[in-house]
Amino acid sequence: MAAAVPAGMDRPHFIGIGGAGMSGIAKILAQRGAVVSGSDARESATAQALRALGATVHIGHAAGHLPADATAVVVSSAIRPENPELAAARERGVPVVHRSDALAALMTGTRPIAVAGTHGKTTTTSMLAVALTTLGLDPSYAIGGDLDAPGSNAHDGSGEIFVAEADESDRSFHKYAPEVAIVLNVELDHHANYASLAEIHDSFAAFADRIVPGGTLVISADHPGARELTARLAGRVRTVTYGEAADADVRVTAIVPHGLTSEVTVVLDGAELTFAVSVPGRHYALNAVAALAAGAALGVPAADLAPALASYTGVKRRLQLKGTAAGVQVIDSYAHHPTEMTADLEAIRGASGDGRVLVVFQPHLFSRTQQLAAEMGEALTLADASVVLAIYPAREDPIPGVTSALITEAAAARGADVTAADDKAAAVELITGMAKPGDLVLTMGAGDVTDLGPLILSRLSAVES
């Protein structure tokens, strides 16, 4: 299927083009023939991958970076009003388009699957993209993380299916009109945008109401928030539930761990299917079942899709093995919400054998830490020892009295072995001083803690030699 460049998007300029969501949209537009430009705060492999597709990428933000012939400026919710390129666009009358509107325009004329949920969106979207590609269906996709190389978060496929990660954080997933929507779970997060769990439920209900007539909602039968949403939506949309609950439409009857992989058995339409999942942990297995149910709802034979799901071997920052040195495996995790932290730590604990699980955790956002510090501390009790860095602020300004000490104090009060690190260099020294052959080191968080994996491996190698 030859897809066209959406109207007004033939010469788009992206502010913050290196971000996961923004770069994916830019990549698809470039593949469709648009003349893409953009800017980002720093140089990156993603910027280089975009340049390889013909995009012009500036480092730093300046009004002069906005091309004279730009037809649209694409922004995310993270771009502040005072950004000089945004100000220049408004002064010149260049249309400003939110990234969710740009993505919605790209999905026009396709059969979209939109993947939503407080946790697991990137993994589930990736599983579907990889499995459908393995089956030769060449889907288009836009994912919040790279599959195997910088820039692999998006693809403009020749097939009719478009798989997209649907972000609830700023309600932008209300812009999509999917044929199949997945809701993995519903929890309170993004405290700067949602005041209560009731607001979250309202937002997910609005997303489900966007499913096209005759479409399907695939939703967890295990998660309390998802079950509440299912009850609320009764009669409004065709629903397929999945999970370990006895009343699930796609019922999981077994999840058998095998080190860093697992084997899953489900009953779907009365038939039993057993397939491999090439990443560890119960929550990743359930993500794969959600992907299976969604593909089946779109008409892809489950018997074909199930084995194809084994082709997914991970996405960057989702329990990604960075390497091994001195007998110590170093793994990177994007987990930053307590539920995600707990799930990843339980998965790693199940794969660690007799080795210890050591964590370097970087809290993400002052608002999240203010609300969930106690729960983050509780999650860290699942590690044998943890090092906690200062809060990564991202787009937020500091909140008085909110520091990572709230987490270390909560963890220590629950009996955890936890140490604060003044900076990343100190964290590397602390964790490598603890690590012994057979241990697993987990760098965890949504900020730049991901940069520590190679440094930890290098330090371990130096100590070994």
Interval 175-185: pLDDT, tens: 999 999 999 99
CATH of the domain at 359: 3.90.190.20
Task: State the Cα–Cα distance between residues 439 and 91, nearest whole angstrom.
Answer: 56
In a domain, 351, yes or no: yes
Q: Which residues of the chain have pLDDT under 50?
A: 1, 150
**Shared-domain flag, residues 19 and 64:** yes
**Shared-domain flag, residues 47 and 150:** no
Distance of alpha carbon 293 from the chain centroid: 20
Q: Which residues contact 253 (CB under 8 A, 6 or more apart)?
A: 265, 266, 267, 272
Distance of alpha carbon 104 from the chain centroid: 18
Q: Which DSSP symbol is given to 303? A: H
Which residue, 39, 71, 96, sits at the end of a domain? 96
CATH of the domain at 277: 3.40.1190.10
From the annotation, which residues make up the binding site?
117-123
In a domain, 145, yes or no: yes
In a domain, 332, yes or no: yes
In a domain, 36, yes or no: yes
What 3-state DSSP class applies to 254? strand
At residue 123, the pLDDT reads 87
**Shared-domain flag, residues 392 and 263:** no
**Shared-domain flag, residues 118 and 89:** no
Which residue, 282, 311, 340, sits at the end of a domain? 311
Number of independent structural domains in the chain: 3
**Shared-domain flag, residues 177 and 245:** yes
Range of the domain at 400: 318-464
From the annotation, which residues make up the binding site for ATP?
117-123
Q: Which DSSP symbol is given to 397? A: P
Which residue, 311, 334, 367, sits at the end of a domain? 311
At residue 287, the pLDDT reads 95
Which among 121, 128, 157 is positioned nearest to 140, based on CA atoms? Answer: 157
- Contact call for residues 113 and 186 (beta carbons, < 8 A): no
**Shared-domain flag, residues 279 and 359:** no
At residue 146, the pLDDT reads 65
What 3-state DSSP class applies to 3? coil
Q: Angle at the Cα of 422 (from 419 to 426), degrees rounded to 5? A: 80
In our burial notation (b when 16+ CB lie closer than 10 A, e otherwise), range 185-200 reads bbbbbbbeebeeeeeb
In a domain, 103, yes or no: no
Q: Could you list the active site residues?
A: 121-122, 165
